[in-house]
Structure 1
Amino acid sequence: MLKTRLITAAVFSAVIIYILSFSPASLFYPLFVTVTTISIFLSGTEFAALRWNILDGTSAIEQPRPKLKAKHFAVGFSYAFLIISFSVSCIIFAQEPQKILIIPISWTFLCLFISAALIYRRANDMHTASNKLLNVIAGFIYLALPAACLTSLSLIHFEGSYRSAQLYFCLATVFMGDTGAYFIGSKFGKHKLIPKVSPKKSIEGALGGLFFSGLTALILAKLFNLPFPPWFSIVVGVCMGIAGQIGDLMESAFKRAGGYKDSGHLLPGHGGFLDRIDSLILGIPVAFLFFSLYK
């Protein structure tokens, strides 16, 4: 298991580093959008399975992870294609930004109309059917919107900074916050944060994670030559850390509601894709907001 986990992490990291730092400039955006789209497709599939299996009563059966069905993959595809439509719109309507959202919004409403028709047509219980439809809508906000922020963030560049500096900044800040929370919590954690959601997380760990996020942001802003004053870097880092921890707790709540340990098994040795990106889901929009305001 450890060997598989390390191999998966090495391959995934190598792909990301290649795209961010070494891919041809003309291919950077298409490759980045492709990786983001695949991640959202798989994460969206797991999200749909987590929520729908609970509504179908499947969670009453003890399982390590939710079973993935064709309908869950269809929901995941609807989220993923929104990223493609948004990215294509950014290129087509580069000179007319007021039209960029036409295609993504049209796709979203088409998905909602089709979902409503299929869900209610096959429903035996209107309450369950309505909750399923609301979960489909929630996925667009929970997964597709942050992914759109991520692809937009990839296009932001500050004069004099290193290539993809903003993306390395965001990824490292969130992941170091997670790492800091784990080690500080393991060593000094005494007071539970939200035990009903995540029994192992502590207040000490959460504060340690925020310290690591702020420190990482401060160091990387200097290292990558980002034009942020120290106080701004720390504020961005801490806010991303807070958002990341909330995202982690939200995903833990989804799993606990169904009695699952992992969101899936699509990432060998690591469980589910959703388990790996839960902190980024809310952290990325916060980063995009700060970077856009500063830009």
Structure 2
Amino acid sequence: MLKTRLTTAAICSAVIIYILSFSPISLFYPLFVTVTTIAIFLSGTEYAALRWNILDGTNNIEQPRPKLKAKHFAVGFSYSFLIITFSLSNVIFASEPQKILIIPITWVFLCFFVAAAFIYRRAHDMHTASNKLLNVIAGFIYLALPAVCLTNLSLIQFEGSYRSAQLYFCLATVFMGDTGAYFIGSKFGKHKLIPKVSPKKSVEGALGGLLFSGLTALILTHLFNLPFPPWFSILVGVSMGIAGQIGDLMESAFKRAGKYKDSGNLLPGHGGILDRIDSLILGVPVAFLFFSLYK
């Protein structure tokens, strides 16, 4: 199990580092969009399975993970394709930015209409059907919108900074926050944070995670030559840390509601894709907001 976990982590890390630092400049954006699209497709599938299996009443006993069905993959595809439509719009309407949202909005409304027709046509219970449709809509905000922020974040470049510095900053700040929360919580955790959602998370761990996020942001600003003053780096890091912890708790609540241990098993040795990116889901939009305002 450990060998599989390490192998998966090494492969994923190598792919990300290659794209961010060594891929040809002309291929960087297409490759980055492709990887992001795949991640959202798979995590969106897991999200749909988590939420819909609960509504279908298939969570009477504790299970390792939700069962994935074709309809869940269809929902995941609808989220991932929004990233493609937005990226294409960035290219097609580069000279007319006011039109960039035309294709993505058209796709979203098409998905709403198709989902409503599919769900209500097969529904035996209107209450359950309505909740399913609302969960589909929520997924666009929960997963697709942060992914669009991430792809746009990849286009931001600060003069004098290293290639993809803003992306390394974002990824490392969130993941180091998770790491800090785990180690500080394991060693010093005494006061439960939200035990009904995640019994193992503690207030001490949460504060430790924020400390790690802030310090990581400060260090990376210096290492990657980003033009931020120290106070701004710490502010961004702590804000991303808070958002990341909320995202982690949200995903834990989804799993606990369905009595599942993991969101899936699509990532060998690590469980589900959603389990690995839950902190980034809210952390990325925060980074995009701060970097866009600074830019």
Give the match's secondary structure for 1:123.
coil
SS in 2 for 1:142: helix
| TM-score of the superposed pair, with normalisation by structure 2 | 1.00
Q: TM-score, normalization: structure 1? A: 1.00
Match of 1:6 in 2: 6
Partner of 1:173: 173
Distance in 1 of aligned mates of 2:168 and 2:84: 22
Structure 2 gap ranges (5+): none
Other-structure match for 1:38: 38
d(CA) in 2 for partners of 1:94, 1:287: 23
- CA distance in 2: counterparts of 1:152 and 1:92, whole angstroms: 15
* Pairwise CA distance, 1:62: 2.8
Distance in 2 (CA, whole Å) between partners of 1:38 and 1:143 is 12
SS of the residue corresponding to residue 58 of structure 1 reads coil
Aligned length: 295
Separation of aligned partners in 1, 2:231 and 2:222: 12
SS in 1 for 2:194: coil
Greater than 3 Å deviation, 4+ residue runs: none
Deviation at 1:289, TM superposition (A): 0.1
Query: Corresponding residue for 2:271?
Result: 271
Deviation at 1:140, TM superposition (A): 0.1
Q: Which amino acid aligns with 2:178?
A: D
Distance 1:93 1:292 in 2: 20
Q: Give the % identical residues.
A: 88
Q: Report the Cα distance in structure 1 between the residues aligned to 2:139 and 2:28, rounded to whole angstroms.
A: 27
> Structure 1, unaligned stretches of length 5 or more?
none
Provide the secondary structure at the position in 1 that maps to 2:59.
Answer: helix
Q: Which amino acid counterpart does residue 247 of structure 2 have in structure 1?
A: G
Q: How far off its partner does 1:63 sit?
A: 1.3
- Report deviation, 1:180: 0.2
RMSD: 0.4
Q: How far apart, CA to CA, are the structure 2 residues paired with 1:235 and 1:49?
A: 36
Partner residue of 1:55? 55
2:207 equivalent in structure 1: 207
* Matched ranges for 1:83-232 at <5 A: 83-232=83-232
Q: What is the one-letter code of the residue matched to 1:19?
A: I
Residue aligning to 1:78: 78
Provide the C-alpha distance between the structure 2 equivalents of 1:39 and 1:59, rounded to a whole number of angstroms: 25
Task: State the shift of 1:13 in Å.
Answer: 0.3
- Alpha-carbon distance between aligned partners in 1 of 2:122 and 2:166, rounded to the nearest angstrom: 46
**Residue identity opposite 2:99 in structure 1:** K
What is the identity, as a one-letter code, of the residue corresponding to 2:174?
V
